[in-house]
Amino acid sequence: MEPSLLPSLAWFAHVASHRSFTKAAAKMGVSRAALSQNLKALEKQLGVRLLNRTTRDMSLTEDGQHLFDALQPSLGAIESAVRSLGEAAGEASGLLKVNTARLAAKALVDPYFGEFLARYPKLSLELVMDDGLSNITASGCDVGIRLGQHLAEHMVAVPITPMLSMAVVGTPAYFARRSPPKTPADLVHHNCLNFRHTGSGALYKWEFTSPDGHDFSMETKGNLITNDDDSMLRAALQGVGLIQHIDIVVRKHLDDGSLVRVLKPWCPPFPGFYLYIPSRKQMPKKTQALIDFLVEKRKQWERRT
């Protein structure tokens, strides 16, 4: 590729990212006029129109969108490599963007904001809540956190929790009114609080494994449905009914006796949460800092189990 194209391509990526010449120029410390002339020269050199311009608005053409989609991950990787060179002799610093499932954030990150940021005072943390499995490079994030069963094979992943399991729980007061279920089939006699997935709109089906190793899921019925797992947990703590949740979320309530676990033999362990990155090459110190911190917390969880 012609080396002289690289600066102009980087300028184009800034404009496309901000969808504004004014914002991109301010971010880059150049004049709007200089940026506009540079992009016109790039379009002339490539022989295609990249941007649709009006006096009040700017948008990408189809060719421009295609070029931006191809440039974004590559330029992100270059920026990460350059940042890592500057960090090599110093301590972890800069902005660390973490793409994480909401549940993982609540259980594994939120409780330790103060401790982590005090340990690494030159770091800033940004959480991007995403219950899908995003391409962390394309989304501009440094790391992601997901359950092991949801990770792509090519990802470099580090376990940050022990093995987990689903837990069916209720309060002692609830079980004073109804006999604890001995098998999942007994749940038809219980008030089971349900979770509705925000994306699909489907109700969560409770997951079990029979003593002979057969995995199955089942629909349950109750008088409360929510798309927020915190609300579901609060209702269970009030004795409204039973819930099924990942054990790491309800463990403190099991420890203090406010919740009681049932059907444990039907809920075997599965791979827990992992922190994942595209590659170990040129890993920034800020990324290594988060990995070390969460692995330390994993070891504390393991000692408690």
Structure confidence at residue 82 as a pLDDT band (50, 70, 90):
low
Tokens of 16: 């496309």
Same domain, 210 and 238: yes
Mean pLDDT, residues 3-29: 81
CATH number of the domain to which 32 belongs: 1.10.10.10
* Contacts with 74 (C-beta within 8 Å, 6 or more apart), sequence order: none
CATH number of the domain to which 219 belongs: 3.40.190.290
Q: Which domain holds residue 113?
A: 86-162+272-303
Q: What is the DSSP letter of 259?
A: S
Same domain, 69 and 195: no
Mean pLDDT, residues 244-263: 95
Q: How many domains does the chain have?
A: 3
Mean pLDDT, residues 231-246: 96
Same domain, 26 and 51: yes
Q: What percent of the chain has pLDDT above 90?
A: 47
Q: Of 32, 50, 81, which one is at a domain's C-terminal end?
A: 81
Mean pLDDT, residues 37-50: 88
Collapsing DSSP to helix, strand or coil, 226 comes out as: strand
Helix (H) or strand (E) holding 79: helix 62-87
Structure confidence at residue 239 as a pLDDT band (50, 70, 90):
very high
Q: Are 84 and 77 in contact (CB under 8 A)?
A: no
**What distances in angstroms separate CA 193 from CA 29, 146, 216, 240, one per listed residue?**
55, 24, 19, 8
Q: Is the pLDDT of residue 243 over 60?
A: yes
Specify the pLDDT at position 92. Answer: 87
**What distances in angstroms separate CA 78 from CA 65, 262, 282, one per listed residue?**
20, 51, 11
Least confident range from 28-42, 246-260, 262-276: namely 28-42
Same domain, 153 and 279: yes
Same domain, 168 and 249: yes
Q: Is the pLDDT of residue 76 over 70?
A: yes
Same domain, 264 and 178: yes
Kindly state the greatest CA–CA separation across the chain: 78
Q: What percent of the chain has pLDDT above 70?
A: 89
pLDDT tens digits along 173-213: 999 999 999 999 999 999 999 999 877 889 999 999 998 99
pLDDT tens digits along 113-128: 999 999 999 999 999 8
Same domain, 229 and 257: yes
Same domain, 123 and 217: no
Same domain, 140 and 193: no
pLDDT tens digits along 215-227: 999 999 999 999 9
Query: Is the pTM here over 0.95, yes or no?
Result: no
